[in-house]
Amino acid sequence: MLNTIIASIVMLGLLIFVHELGHFIVARLVRIKVLEFAIGLGKELFSRQKEGGTRYSLRLFPLGGFCRLLGEDPEEALKEGSFQKKPLFSRLAVISAGSLMNFLLAVVLFSLVYFFFWGVPQSQTTQIGEILPGSRAYEAGLQSGDVILAIDGLEMKDWDDIIAYINANPERQITLLVQRGNAVISITVVPAGDTGKGLIGIAPVYKKYVFFRSIALGFNYTWFFIKLIFVSLYQMITGVIPADIAGPVGIVAIVAEVTKTGLGNLFYLAAIISINLGIINLLPIPALDGSRIIFLVLEGIRGKPIDPQKEGFIHFVGFTVLIILMILIAFQDITRLIF
C-alpha cells in the first residue's frame, strides 16, 4: 500500500510539475516576471530565492502547485514585467502552455512505453507474435511464431492485410495457410463477431528500441486519447453515457491495480492522466486555465480587458465550487472502495 501511495504521489507530482513548468518557461520567454514557482500546496517546507528573482518552493501537500506571475494581482498590473502589460498573444501562450506541456509529456511517456517496454508492432511482417489464451486462434491450433502466408487463397503481404481480412469476416469460417518451421499447414478458424468485426485473438511481433516509430506512436496515441476524452466528455454532458469521474483517491486505487501489471502499464496510465489533466484545464470553468483563456479572447473581441475585480470574483467562486466538487468526488471514490 505504501508503494502505491508513493507511486501515486510521484505520478501526480510529475504531471503537476510539468503543467506548471509550461507556464513558467513561456512566461520567462515572453519576459513576464515569475514571482514564485511552487510544487505542492499548503505549508512551505523548503524555498530558495535569489535577490530580485523567482522564489522556488516545495510545499506540504504534493497534489497541487502553482506558478505565480507578476500582474495577476490587479495592484501589480502596471509594473515592469507584469502579465497584464504583455500583448494578448503572449498572455494566451502563457496560459495555454500548461496543458500543452501535459500533452507533450503524454507523447514522451507513450514513446517510452513503446521504445523500452512493449516494443513497436512489426506490421510489415505476417508472423504471429502472440496468441490470446482461450481465443478462437488458440482453439484452432495457431501458435506464436506461425507465419500466415494466405487466407482463403489470398496472399497476405503484411499484418494490415491479415487484420483487414479477418475483420471483414465475422462468424464466417476462413482458412489460413500457415508456415510453421519448415512445414506449411492449413488451419480453419471462425472469427468471433461480438464487436461487429471479426477477431481471432492474434497479435503481431513487437520489436523494442525502435526510436522514430516509437515517437510516431507516441504522437498517434496522444491524439487518439485527446479525441476520445473530448468525445466522452460530450457524451457525459448529453447523457449518452453515465458520468464516471475519479479524484485523487480513485486514482490511487487505479494506480494500485496497474502497478501490479508492470512499469510499462504505469507509464501508459500516467500518459492518459496527463492528457486528462491538460484537457480539464482547458475547459471554460472559472479558476482553471480555460476560463482565463475565455477572458483573454473576450478582451481581444472587446478591445479592452474585463474588470479585474469582476474576473477575480468569478475565479474565486469557481475555485470554491471546484473544492466542493473535489470533496464530493473523493467521497464517491471512498464509497466505491468500501462498498
**Cell numbers 467521497: residue:** 331
pTM: 0.82
- Region of residue 241 (left: phi > 0; alpha: psi -120 to 50; beta: else): beta
d(CA 337, CA 52): 48
**Residue range 136-152, pLDDT digits in tens:** 999 999 999 999 999 99
CATH superfamily, domain 121-207, is PDZ domain (2.30.42.10)
Position with higher pLDDT, 55 vs 285: 55
In this model, does residue 316 exceed pLDDT 70?
no
**Residue range 83-140, pLDDT digits in tens:** 888 999 999 999 999 999 999 999 999 999 999 999 999 989 999 999 999 999 999 9
In this model, does residue 337 exceed pLDDT 50?
no
Q: Catalytic pick from 20, 76, 80, 171?
A: 20
d(CA 216, CA 209): 13
Task: Respond yes or no: is residue 20 known to be catalytic.
Answer: yes
Would you kindly state where each structural domain of the chain is located, as residue ranges? Answer: 2-119+217-338, 121-207
